[in-house]
Amino acid sequence: MTIISSQHILRNRLFFCAIVIVIAALFYWLTTSGFRNVLENTTLLREYIETLGQVGPLVIIVSMTLAIIMSPIPSAPIALVSGALYGHTWGTLYVLIGSTFGAVIAFLIARLLGFDFLERWFKGKLATNWVGSQNTLMGIVFFSRLMPFISFDIVSYAAGLTAITFWRFIVATIAGIAPASFILAHFGDELSSTDSQRIAFAILALGLFTAIPLLYKTIRKRRSN
């Protein structure tokens, strides 16, 4: 029993090291190749995607996935470009697929590498002793997806360390990010317009979309104090 447990721990540690090395190497390549700068600049990214033709949507999806797995890479510019190039419907779909893939990968990494340790720490009672029921965990994931000031990446990794089931995490994630994906794609489509009034309205609406949750958080903090 002890030998099997030791082998399991060793395998997880080796897997963890391999994952860290792969992610670090990929991040290093993105940075040194200059592609990270492209991902962070809507103008450069749009010009690059436009040259790819039919491969463009796939690059959008992969880029969104990488942005979720690697916190330093912002996902908003990718979502805006997706909407600008492919419109509300398809732009939203590509963003949603990429975000979901990234969330799933982050969740599985945390689940495979950290959940067993926490389960042993809580002596097999993680589901009841930490955070709460499955419905509570699902609600936390869902509402956190609606808040732009809460890191999407951190929530994905943190969820993997809880007892939430995989399918509940997927449902909560898709339901939570669908509105934000549509809004960002919509703003990207509006900003690509040549109509100055539409552009001004899109900028104002995007600012309000970002400011309202922050204002709500500030008001709650003042009331609690």
Give residue-wise pLDDT tens across range 48-105: 999 998 999 999 999 999 888 887 788 888 888 888 888 878 988 999 999 999 999 8
Q: Is residue 199 part of a domain?
A: yes
Q: Is residue 30 part of a domain?
A: no
Selection from 127, 118, 128 nearest residue 165 by Cα: 127
How large is the average pLDDT for residues 132-161? 80
76 Cβ neighbours under 8 A, 6+ residues apart: 184
**Amino acid making up residue 135:** N
Q: Is residue 76 part of a domain?
A: yes
Q: 3-state class of 49 per DSSP?
A: helix
pLDDT > 70 fraction of the chain, expressed in percent and rounded:
68
Segment of 84-98, 119-133, 183-197 carrying the highest mean pLDDT: 84-98
Structural domain for 148, as ranges: 37-224
Averaged confidence pLDDT in the chain: 75
Longest dimension (CA), the chain: 70
Q: Is residue 29 part of a domain?
A: no
Q: Looking at the predicted structure, is the pLDDT value of residue 188 above 90?
A: no
Q: Is residue 22 part of a domain?
A: no
Q: Is residue 5 part of a domain?
A: no
More confident residue, 220 or 205: 220
CA distance 101 to 62: 9
Number of domains in the chain: 1
Predicted confidence band of residue 9 (pLDDT cuts 50, 70, 90): low
* Token output for 221: 């903090």
pLDDT tens readout for residues 158-184: 888 787 889 999 999 999 888 877 777
Q: Is residue 20 part of a domain?
A: no
Give how far Cα 28 sits from Cα of 60, 63, 212, Å: 20, 15, 35
Q: Is residue 138 part of a domain?
A: yes
For residue 90, give the H/E element and its range: helix 76-121
Say if CB 68 and CB 50 are below 8 A apart: no
CA distance 28 to 25: 5
Predicted confidence band of residue 200 (pLDDT cuts 50, 70, 90): very low
